Homo-oligomer: A and B are copies of this chain.
Amino acid sequence: MKHYIGIDLGGTFIKGGIVNELGEIVISDKTPTEVEKGDLGVAANIARLAKDLLDRAGLTTGDVEGLGIGSPGMIDSAEGNVVYANNLGWENFRICDEISRLLGGIPVKIGNDANVAALGEVKFGAARNYNSAIMITLGTGVGGGIVVDGKLIEGNKGAGAELGHIVIVRGGEQCSCGRRGCFEAYSSATALIRDTRRAMEAHPDSKMWEIGSTDAVTGKTVFDYAPTDVYAKEVLDSYIEHLACGLINYANIFRPEVILLGGGVCAQGDNLIVPLQAIMDREIYAGSKGPRVPILIAELENSAGLLGAAALLM
């Protein structure tokens, strides 16, 4: 049985695990990132965590195929280089060379965290029966990953797969990227909360005011009130239509075997997926002449990053 070390690098914690070729996490743990120690300091923390996990599993560096890292930022995976990572404060840090040096020369690979999570879902999660998938994560922003024939499409210097940043409503809502009308500005949890608050403020008679104030709005509010409040229903319908619009764009570009959705909003399950799939089936290019694109909810949650990082070496 082959083993791999997976590392999920975040701004606060480094999560690590030893993963076998079946995608089982043999052992896992976490340690503070300590961004203030700089790039070499963080790399040392990653290596220390990896060694500790190996020790506890009764393994040595010679027993694993290598170490994979999911990292925030713009990652040049071919060069093993963090080109730019705002929340780590790094620019052009060749992390793979450094960690390999600290771990006896084992192979080390890296990818952007959203991309790596998509790879994890394709290898071991909701898309494990497929080779090609687009994953869209609906969080504070909208992140994404592209897997074609089992491989990540990351773009030149890893700067691609910014799947939240396609304009779907020209001149529309301001997006964090500087453009207006991006998919993210309509489909993120942030956007859903913004639109829920706007609806409450515009309609003092909305039942949604039962929650007390607009400060109490979450991504769940409109789902809770849609069955009984017309204003909640309007916000939810609009959210689903914009989300479907972006997903169909990706279906027409990639015609993936499957589209995966991740993020907190997915806890709504069929209330989200059923109407999305209906719009997809109706509006996808060439309708039923081409293969259907099922929309599924991602499964791996917090372990997607760790498993996907390990999968970089598979």
Q: List residues of A whose CB falls within 8 A of some B CB.
A: 74, 83-84, 132, 146, 148, 153-163, 165-170, 172, 177-179, 242, 245, 248-249, 252-257, 283, 285-287, 289-291, 293
Contact = CB atoms under 8 A, between A and B. Distances in A.
Contact of A167 (B154, B245, B255): B245
**Nearest 5 pairs of A and B residues by beta carbon:** A155-B255, A160-B255, A159-B290, A166-B249, A159-B255
Given A159-B291, A160-B256, 11 more contacts: A83-B290, A132-B156, A154-B255, A155-B253, A159-B255, A159-B286, A160-B254, A161-B255, A166-B166, A166-B168, A168-B168
A168 B170 contact: yes
A290 B162 CA distance: 12
Contacts of A158: 255
A167 B286 CA distance: 15
Nearest to A148: B153
Contacts of A163: 252-253
A239 to B, nearest CB: 13
Contact of A156 (B74, B169, B255): B255
Contact of A179 (B74, B161, B248): B248
28 contacts: A83-B289, A83-B290, A84-B289, A84-B290, A146-B253, A148-B153, A154-B255, A155-B255, A156-B256, A156-B257, A160-B256, A161-B253, A161-B255, A162-B252, A162-B255, A163-B253, A166-B249, A166-B252, A167-B245, A167-B248, A168-B168, A168-B170, A170-B172, A170-B242, A170-B245, A178-B283, A179-B283, A253-B253
Contact of A155 (B84, B249, B254): B254
Number of this chain's copies in the assembly equals 2
A285 B168 contact: no
Contacts of A285: 159, 162, 165, 177
Residue among A74, A156, A257, A293 with max Cβ neighbours from chain B (10 Å): A156
Contact of A157 (B146, B148, B156, B290): B290
A286 B245 CA distance: 24
B283 A155 contact: no
A286 B165 CA distance: 10
A177 B162 CA distance: 25
Contacts of A178: 283, 287
A269 B163 CA distance: 30
A94 to B, nearest CB: 17
Nearest to A153: B148
Contact of A74 (B148, B157, B177, B290): B290
Residue among A83, A132, A249 with max Cβ neighbours from chain B (10 Å): A249
